[in-house]
Amino acid sequence: MTSFRCIAINTAAAVRLRRATTDDFGNAIQRFDLDRSYPCRHCLCEASGKTGMLLLSYRTPKPKSIYGHPTAIFLCASDCERFDQPDAIPEIVRNRLVSFRSFSGDGMMIYNAHAIVEGDGHDAAVRRIFARDDVAYINAHTARAGCMLCHIERV
């Protein structure tokens, strides 16, 4: 059985972005304090907007290819614990219709290895995709809006 790890944005980037007024692309970072939940890309939890959530544009470290692009993300405005659990699908992925986008080691998409999943099939889909030797990593995106949720690598 293939082991995997869902990787959140790193803590140094989260701290830096929480202190900034603009994201890395010059866009004003927006703050929400509404009574609803948002998918934080650092703790990978559905976080309450009551304590403040930030919306900004972020470029994922991988892929470094023509498929790499900025994506909108939410981030807890206050410190939160970075998600770090092997073989666990985080809450923000389990709760959504998700597009798993598969990539080779050189950052090229492997179209016939992608999967769209909702409900209880996320773990099985990740393991099925990683059963292929040509898949180096997966990026999980919201299937409707296309926003990046997390990066997934083999352990």
| Single pTM value for the model | 0.95
Q: Tens digits of per-residue pLDDT, 22-44?
A: 999 999 999 999 999 999 999 99
Q: Tens digits of per-residue pLDDT, 61-103?
A: 899 999 999 999 999 999 999 999 999 999 999 999 999 999 9
Task: Give me the chain's average pLDDT, please.
Answer: 96
Q: What's CA 9's distance to the chain center, in Å?
A: 8
Return the pLDDT at 77: 97
**Tokens 């994201």 -> residue:** 23
Residues in the chain: 155
